[in-house]
Structures are given as structure tokens and as C-alpha cells.
Structure 1
């Protein structure tokens, strides 16, 4: 892939889309890749940040928020998708609870995109 083909979303663009779509809560597992987005989310008064220690917990918490009328978004890394599989199936898919997942990349082939 050449540099011209690399398109990266800025944290400002991501936050703008969250606000435009009425996201009320971001349920997330903190990581170094989302640090710049975190700083913007933390300063945004319309968002509540809910930190979790495991990705599976994010699904359970987001399901409860959604049932209560909130509009949560789950923010995790791709490696966390494996950890959250049972909660995804049991809570979100099994009960047909609509929650958006934003899944970031974690791996060794970024080629400097995040630098």
C-alpha cells in the first residue's frame, strides 16, 4: 500500500460523528492508540465515558445503557473482539440490542499511520 492510499480518521472527525449521531456514552477499554480521541471525548460535555477492564464488560454495560434509553458506543481494539465474543452473542445479538462498536486496529503492520 502506498502512502497515497492511506486514509486515517482524525480524532476530531470521529468525535464529530459521535455527536452528530447522538452518542450519549462511550464504553471503552483505554489503550494507547485512542489517547488523542480520549482527550477530546473527556472534554466533550455531551459524552459520558465509561471505562472497563475487559471488553466483555463493555457489551454488558452498553446493553444496559441502551435498554435504559441511552445511545452508547463501544470502543475497543480488534484483539478485544475475541475476548468479548460471548458477551456480544449473549447480550447484544441474543437480545437484539442495538449498539454500535467502533473497533480499532492493534497489530504490527501499521506502517507509521499512527505516528
Structure 2
């Protein structure tokens, strides 16, 4: 089972049944797995803030939402995170491909890579950097449980090197 399969398993184990995504090369295999799953409704969007609004509506309709995105879109999402998700206590899991970290090949990704955790800190949004691929499933389940209990967003940051590692 590789890293992507463990994340997929974590989403399933957490009962996530509604996923919004923004295109991302690192998330491609995961998005394919989700598209093939009849138990998960997948809605691709063009902008992250649009996705958060759709997830809020899905939650109000009884679904368990997650958004899959790159951290480069976090800047687009600051207002909706603060004025919708936090204000009205919508639980959501963010599965984030954390670009701009050590080993990033595209220099333009580095500034947002450095700003990502600072943005979450300033918005008082819980996040966790997932280091060990084999722990992804348990971490996702825990994050959803905490998000549902607190009514808050929870972000899981997967470093680009994560996608290159496999799980035994």
C-alpha cells in the first residue's frame, strides 16, 4: 500500500463521504481513487474558497466533507475560513499538498510554503504536518473526530516528499 492508498483509507475510515478538490498533480492518484468510489460524492472546483462554501452546504445536508487542495490556494481561502467556516463552526478536514518545503523544485512555491503554517496560526486553525505515511489513516480519523467535536476546520499538511514515499 502506498502513501496515497493510506490517505484514501483514512478518508474512508473517518466516514468522509463528500470531497471537494482543486486540481493538483500531487493529489492526482488520490483523486482517481475518490472518483472510482461510489460512496464518495466528488465535486471538482476551480477555486478553493468556492469549495469551502460547497462543503459548508454539504455538511448542512448531513454529509461529512473534506477539501483536497494545494497550500498555494490557502491565500485564496483566508476570508471564507474566517467568515464562514470558523464563524459558523463548520467541521471540515483539509488534505493539503504542502508545496514549497525542503526539496521543492519550483522556487515560486517557496514563499507560500513558508507562510502556510503562519496563516493557520493567525486564523487559530488546527493543523498537523504528516511526516510518516503509515500513520495517515489514523491521523485523518482523529482529525475528523476533533473537527466534528469542536466544529472547527482541521488541516493536514502532506509535504511534497510525502508523495514520493511508500508505506510497507
User: Would the TM-score normalized by the shorter structure come out above 0.5?
Assistant: yes
Question: How far does residue 56 in structure 1 lie from its aligned partner after superposition?
Answer: 0.5
Question: How far does residue 80 in structure 1 lie from its aligned partner after superposition?
Answer: 0.9
Does residue 1:58 correspond to 2:51, yes or no? yes
Structure 2: which 5+ runs fail to align? Answer: 105-159
**Deviation string, structure 1 residues 50-80 (Cα, Å, up to 9, x no partner):** 1111011111000110111100101111111
Aligned equivalents of 1:15 and 1:93: distance in 2?
Answer: 26
Matched with 2:116 is none
TM-score, scaled to structure 1: 0.84
Question: How far does residue 109 in structure 1 lie from its aligned partner after superposition?
Answer: 3.3
- Written as runs of structure 1 = structure 2, the 5 A alignment for 1:9-88 is 10-88=3-81
Aligned equivalents of 2:88 and 2:3: distance in 1?
Answer: 33
Aligned equivalents of 2:20 and 2:103: distance in 1?
Answer: 25
Q: Secondary structure at the match of 2:73?
A: helix
TM-score, scaled to structure 2: 0.59
Q: Secondary structure at the match of 1:101?
A: strand
Q: Which runs of 4+ in 1 moved over 3 A?
A: 108-112
Q: Counting helix residues as a fraction of each chain, which structure ranks higher?
A: 2
Matched with 2:113 is none
When the two structures are aligned, how many residues end up with a matched partner?
A: 107
Question: How far does residue 108 in structure 1 lie from its aligned partner after superposition?
Answer: 6.3
Aligned equivalents of 2:74 and 2:16: distance in 1?
Answer: 21
| Larger RCO, structures 1/2 (Cα 8 Å, 6+ apart) | 2
Match of 1:104 among 89, 92, 97: 97
